[in-house]
Amino acid sequence: MKKLAVVALGGNALLRSEQKGTYKEQIQNVNQTTEQIGKLLNDYNVVIAHGNGPQVGNILLQNEAGKEKFQVEDMPLDYCVAQTQGSIGYLIDMCMRNVMNKMNVKRNVVTLLTQVTVDKNDKGFSNPTKPVGPYYTKESAEEYAKSTGAQFKEDAKGRGWRKVVASPVPLTIENVDLVKQLAQDGNIIVTVGGGGIPVIEENGQIKGVEAVIDKDLASAVTAVAIQADEFYILTDVDKVYINFRKENEQALDVLTVQEAEKLLEEGQFGEGSMAPKIRAALYFVKNGGKQCIITDAAQLGNDSCGTRIVK
């Protein structure tokens, strides 16, 4: 039986920093990334997760334009996440099939619309910190806050004010048993896109909420639930570094749980970049996973690729 790997796409796997997020750009990036994932197929059954930050941002911009010009009502954030799960899943599905055709590999690719349950009392709801959508002037932000009840915070780089939403901890992944079964049968599954569609249970009913779940942590929770052997977090650097972009920067080949926790506590990893990935890696390894590899897509298939977080 092949080993089972969860591969979480992020960084330039979907959209690069200098790009606008056009269809042509995204499909080119996804095609390059799936070419690399194809290198795993001889040895692994694969589950693919992905981010959606820029894509949701574009949908929110479209919402804004539609509201101003045509008085079209905004779609809630959970609905926007669902939209991007479908659109990005489609790109991954199509490109993965093209890669397998060239490899003469016969597997199904299945994209699952995935809800992720969070706690309605999660502290993130009382202190939203995750910025989403366009930048506003202070006056416009105050006006929108008054009319919608949304919260806004000033950007640290002085680019304006942005809406902030909760980033609650993922608790359970909908249909995760099915993900495990389908993956073990050799199907390639795309799931927890954008961290999953955030939902809560209230009075026996499920409903969506205005939140963004961390993609890497949701991927780690999925990897633990399906008992994956390995968890890959793809980003835009080849390895994890300490003293990143300083004269004494150092690439790390292997980190134990204890070492990673110490460096995290020392503030070696940025909260907007590597720290969430390290926390996701720790969650996986501390809950039964063998190892987590943090690297960029181009390194896949190399036995010594990336930084490996181990027990």
Q: Where are the domains of the chain?
A: 3-127+166-310
Q: Is the pLDDT of residue 101 over 80?
A: yes
The residues that are catalytic are 11-12, 130, 215, 277
Query: Which pLDDT band holds residue 71 (cuts at 50, 70, 90)?
Result: confident
pLDDT of residue 158: 85
Report percent pLDDT > 90 for the chain.
77
Q: Is the pLDDT of residue 157 over 80?
A: no
Give me the mean pLDDT over the 205-219 stretch: 96
Fold (CATH) for 3-127+166-310: Carbamate kinase (3.40.1160)
- On average, the pLDDT of the chain sits at 93
Q: Is the pLDDT of residue 70 over 90?
A: no
Q: Is the pLDDT of residue 218 over 70?
A: yes
Q: Which of 120-134, 178-192, 210-224 has the lowest mean pLDDT?
A: 120-134
Report percent pLDDT > 70 for the chain.
99
What would the pLDDT profile of 21-33 be if each residue is shown by its tens digit? Answer: 889 999 999 999 9
Q: Is the pLDDT of residue 137 over 80?
A: yes
pLDDT of residue 272: 79
Closest listed residue to residue 85, CA positions, set 173, 157, 205, 18: 173
Q: Is the pLDDT of residue 80 over 90?
A: yes
Give me the mean pLDDT over the 50-65 stretch: 89
What would the pLDDT profile of 230-269 be if each residue is shown by its tens digit? Answer: 999 999 899 999 998 888 999 999 999 999 999 999 999 9
Q: Is the pLDDT of residue 11 over 70?
A: no
pTM of the model: 0.94
